[in-house]
Structure 1
Amino acid sequence: MPGTTIPASWMRLLRSSRVPRLCARRSNGAASLAPGSTIFALSSGQGRCAIAVIRTSGPASGLALRSLTAPREPPPARSACLRLLRHPRSREPLDRALVLWFPGPQSFTGEDCMELHVHGGPAVVSGVLQALGSVPGLRPAEAGEFTRRAFAHGKLSLTEVEGLADLIHAETEAQRRQALRQLDGELGQLCRGWAKTLTKALAHVEAYIDFGEDDSLEEGVLEQADRDVRALEVALSSHLQDARRGQRLRSGAHVVVTGPPNAGKSSLVNLLSRKPVSIVSPEPGTTRDVLETPVDLAGFPALLSDTAGLREGVGAVEQEGVRRARQRLEQADIILGVLDASDLGSPSSCSFLDTVVAPLAAQSNKSGGQRLLLLLNKSDLLPTNAGPAMDPALPPHQLLSCRTGAGLDSLLQALRTELAAVCGDPSTGPPLLTRARHHHHLQRCLDALGHFQLATDLALAAEALRQARRHLSHLIGGGGTEEILDLIFQDFCVGK
């Protein structure tokens, strides 16, 4: 403000805004960022809440902090202090807020950052955002811009950025665990280890090209490089043969409920989804189209599909529903076959066992094959101490009563086992490949290693290793096009 004496502590704070300017484009393909720009945004959720978090990033963050909290002393770095916020121009009080100051490069983005924890009323949030907009050099952030700056400053690798995006969008326990592992950098560390192996092998090959006729090289240099590359091929092949479990974990496994009419398929869908997705009626053929709903099944994401009862339809509409049901069965990852436990001898039940269950049971649980769970519903209608469990002609099955809920816990446990096989268990084993981009670069890396093995010239062998290493670099963010980066960062909300 004119005529206001700036305390020496504020001058030190301004001089501490020492974030280096970003180039128009980093050499590793990072985002193009306007040099010297400072961004601000609401980082917590929209709507009325107890606390809302507003943050800034950029060299003018210190100026914004001073403008809203003067004449009080600035807070110590990374310490929360209570401050009265005022509009920079009118000096009208806005709110009492917790203020945090993160001088770069020790911040999330690597730049000077400020956080304001204000009361979450819409009027308060709007007033503070308007006040920040009046500070010279500040502008509203775009979607994902905070994280993009963190990537540009080397605070996060590209796989860690993807893990952060997955964590924000995680809806199930398994998705949360997988996203945390990727955010912790497990996949990036694995790729960097592979890249180190390739660098060492490339150095040996190039050294042999340059000094192969000298006596200064150790014996077996090329043989060691070949052994390292072969071991890396095995490791890459193992990760690529995961049947795309990681991608299913992100998007959800496809679980299809099928069976003859009136077996209780719609009741099962409603029970698993915990809401009335499908109409339940004693009239056969009630469901005539495929009804889909995303659900959390035993901690795993799934797309649950209710389908028409499999029988020869009595009308054109039901026949089309049956056709769609059979088409959806071919696309399923897990099939829940439902039969009426009290009517297993009916023609429709026998036909379903012969034409659907028997072929699926023969190939179920094979690598890459569809997985089948056979459920005998309406177990509450069975006589006491009697049931189909002793029938040796039936394949492995589970008893269930959608009306009483008996057998539901056992079903959920079985589903958890099947979903862990389809999606991968994020709590154990190596990090999963959660995106098609990961598969693409690892496959191209493996292809390049194959060219190395077939190369008849050492110069071609060295170039194959360079290609392989380049694809690993692209995977963790050491290169890539602006379009790919835009697709990755567009998943983020404004303020992240």
Structure 2
Amino acid sequence: MWAATWGQVFAGLGLAPPRAALRLSTRFYRPAGKRDTIFALSSGHGKCGVAVIRASGPASGAALQRLTGQQELPPPRAVTLRRIRDPSSAETLDKGLVVWFPGPRSFTGEDCAELQVHGGPAVVSGVLQALGRLPGLRPADPGEFTKRAFQNGKLDLTEVEGLGDLIHAETEAQRRQALRQMEGELGQLYQRWSEELTKALAHVEAFIDFSEDDNLEEDVLAGVDTAVQTLQREVTGHLQDGRRGERLRGGVHVVIAGPTNAGKSSLLNLLSRRPVAIVSPVAGTTRDVVESALNIGGYPVVLSDTAGLRQSQDAVEQEGMSRARDRCGNPLAGSPSLTQARHRLHLTSCLDSLGRYHGYKALDLVLAAEELRLARRHLGKITGRVSAEEILDIIFRDFCVGK
């Protein structure tokens, strides 16, 4: 595998590399070799009317030809009725629909084949075993189709997380939030911020490297300051969302607390419309936290019945009351506000770096540029898109260095 640093690239052209290029330490690689072709049952397990089996990778087209006994692949993205055979015995396994998705216009960005067969366990098992006997194919690891979609640029990490949330959504509100994230709204916001930081960093790097030779004006840095301040305001406002996204994703936690025999368990059963908790005239019946997941107006709510609060010598009841006081603790504690904890972590770190940029700028512009680079890296870690090449692209595009 061949690789070259920026320094080697500039040296090969007979040029002295700018300091910005050396600091980036970007490396070029040839594309990796061909991947395995993976396959798996993409629909749910168990008996069902239709089961969907998917294959992705360079051998998926050949696999589809072998299983259908056809010399030609079906028309791209067209549903075709075919007899599914075991290639080793020519035995018919089922008759179903097949779809051919040549890359890059597929979910994973690779060549993909999809088989829609009857959902009986024997049919599904037979098709999966037949695929497993073909050369170059192997069963997919958990999440590997989505991982390949990310690696091939079909999804960023926020879209991957939105897809996962959509699969696990139990209420309408959760579905709407996950769908918006899967369609890229959150990723587009972070990508816009990343592009603004990339431009700001490129301008600072250009000023460091070329201000003496090309007479770059001081207002270049003034423009960077304005862009950084605007970004600080936007990120701060984004973080101050009252934890709406995270609450919706994980469910609102509501604790029923109060003295013994106040009707807490009866209220839980009434709201749940089923006998979740034991109801008794004897005080202290509930001794542990009893939870029930509800769907209230499309929003997920986790309702918790707790032990009644009173003076007691019973060790078990004392433990139950201790747990009750722990559900009723600081309402600001727990999960952060955004849909994922890592989003808040990286956004907070990004904001810290932007603040340090202003402090370093008067002392050392190189250190200030490093803070912009760190801020940009944190944004890139949210979406999974971290590229240093863009900075040099902007330097040469905006300032025409080397003309």
Match of 1:189 in 2: 188
Q: 1:283 to 1:56 in 2, by over 3 A?
A: same
Aligned counterpart for 1:436 among listed residues 331, 337, 341: 341
Q: 1:33 to 1:314 in 2, by over 3 A?
A: farther
Distance across 2 between alignment mates of 1:98 and 1:178? 33
Structure 1 residue 243: Cα displacement: 4.4
Alignment of 1:16-415 (within 5 A): 35-71=34-70, 73-213=72-212, 216-218=215-217, 220-313=219-312, 315-330=314-329, 333=331, 368=332
Q: What are the Cα deviations for residues 154-175 of structure 1, in whole angstroms up to 9, with x where unaligned?
A: 1111111111111111122222
- The TM-score, its normalising length taken from structure 2, stands at 0.82
Q: 1:324 to 1:33 in 2, by over 3 A?
A: farther
Structure 1 residue 433: Cα displacement: 2.3
Q: What are the Cα deviations for residues 339-377 of structure 1, in whole angstroms up to 9, with x where unaligned?
A: xxxxxxxxxxxxxxxxxxxxxxxxxxxxx599xxxxxxx
Does the 8 Å contact 2:34/2:58 carry over to 1? no
The one-letter amino acid of 2:246's match is Q
Distance across 2 between alignment mates of 1:446 and 1:319? 44
- The TM-score, its normalising length taken from structure 1, stands at 0.67
Match of 1:469 in 2: 376
Match of 1:396 in 2: none
The one-letter amino acid of 2:359's match is L
Count residues in correspondence. Answer: 358
Structure 1 residue 58: Cα displacement: 0.6
Structure 1 residue 281: Cα displacement: 2.1
Q: What's the RMSD between the two structures over aligned residues?
A: 2.6
The one-letter amino acid of 2:378's match is H
Q: What are the Cα deviations for residues 226-278 of structure 1, in whole angstroms up to 9, with x where unaligned?
A: 11101111111122233443333322222101122333211221233333210
Extract unaligned runs of 5+ from structure 1: 1-22, 334-367, 371-421, 424-431, 481-496
Distance across 1 between alignment mates of 2:220 and 2:277? 67
Distance across 1 between alignment mates of 2:218 and 2:319? 71
Distance across 2 between alignment mates of 1:112 and 1:205? 43
Does the 8 Å contact 1:313/1:322 carry over to 2? no
Q: Which moves more between the two structures, 205-214 or 276-285?
A: 205-214
Q: Which moves more between the two structures, 162-171 or 68-77?
A: 68-77
Distance across 2 between alignment mates of 1:369 and 1:35? 47
The one-letter amino acid of 1:246's match is G
Match of 1:454 in 2: 359
Does the 8 Å contact 2:211/2:217 carry over to 1? no
Match of 2:391 in 1: none
**Matched residue of 2:259: which SS?**
coil
Structure 1 residue 111: Cα displacement: 0.8
**Matched residue of 1:212: which SS?**
helix
**Matched residue of 1:277: which SS?**
coil
Q: 1:207 to 1:277 in 2, by over 3 A?
A: same
Extract unaligned runs of 5+ from structure 2: 4-25, 388-403
